[in-house]
Amino acid sequence: MNETSSEPESKRIPECNSPKRIRIPAFVIYAVVILGLIVAILMLLPKMCSFQKDISTRFQESLVEVKCNQGDVLEVATYKSMADFNEEDKLDTTVLGITVPLGTTKSYLRVPVTYRFHVLLSGRWKLMTTPETITVIAPEIRPSLPPAPDISALEVHTESGWARFNKKEVENRLKAMVTPELSRRAKTLAKSEIIRDAARHSVEDSLKNFIRWLPQECTKKVFVVKFEGEISPILF
């Protein structure tokens, strides 16, 4: 009787499987290579090529109006200041006899402004002479309207009340006040002493250009400049 020798199954050595190889599709390899070439070209392109920038600016205007001022305006003074405007829009309501505040919208506007003042050469000029002086009575000082606010430096700040939604309304109302209020201010400044003093020096300097046409005895006299309303009409 032949005995067949066999090893227990637990002692059998398992067969070793060879590792699996991961295959990368060809199109992926091509894509990576092409992408690398593109990146390399983009990195080298600025060094291989020269670039030229061309910037052109155009200006165009259309004539709206041109007119003379009759040659009768002599600017005599300018005045620069910062104009400040403030407005508060408060709203309350009553519920069962109890006042409930709905908030206040506050708007603040600030803008630099230049005022200009002139006298009319075509106005009524008067002369009063003494042995030592020649007094020139110039026409009244007029503001050149409207004044010139610097819109490029305009500052506007608005805070709305807690139950208010009228921010733009208050801002627009405040901006609408600028030109009328500055024009009113210009008329007031035209009568102020500070503008009169500046205008007086300006007229005196202008008259010095005409002294050479006066008789020699007049050139030795002192010029005094006054404006309409500064001397009583009885003197004339």
pLDDT digits (tens, 9 = 90+) for 28-66: 777 888 888 877 776 765 666 554 555 655 666 666 666
Q: In whole angstroms, what is the distance from residue 219 CA to residue 211 CA?
A: 6
What percentage of the chain exceeds 70 in pLDDT? 71
In a domain, 38, yes or no: no
In a domain, 77, yes or no: yes
Give the tens place of pLDDT for each residue, 117-157.
999 988 888 888 788 888 889 999 999 989 989 989 989 88
**Is the pLDDT score of 213 beyond 80?**
no
In a domain, 51, yes or no: no
Longest dimension (CA), the chain: 171
In a domain, 56, yes or no: no
**Residue, of 154 and 236, whose pLDDT is higher:** 154
In a domain, 217, yes or no: yes
Average pLDDT of the residues of the chain: 77
Give the tens place of pLDDT for each residue, 160-169.
877 767 788 8
pLDDT of residue 28: 73
pLDDT of residue 15: 54
Find the mean pLDDT for residues 92-114.
82
Find the mean pLDDT for residues 169-188.
89
Find the mean pLDDT for residues 91-109.
79
**Is the pLDDT score of 178 beyond 60?**
yes
Find the mean pLDDT for residues 87-95.
78
Domains identified in the chain, total number: 1
Most confident of 12-21, 22-31, 56-65, 100-109: 100-109
In a domain, 48, yes or no: no
Burial readout 122-161 (b: 16 or more C-beta within 10 A, e: otherwise):
eeeeeeeeeeeebbbbbbebbbbeebebeeeeeeeebebb
Pair type for strands 222-227 and 133-138: parallel
Structural domain boundaries, residue 125 = 73-228
In a domain, 176, yes or no: yes
In a domain, 84, yes or no: yes
pLDDT of residue 206: 83
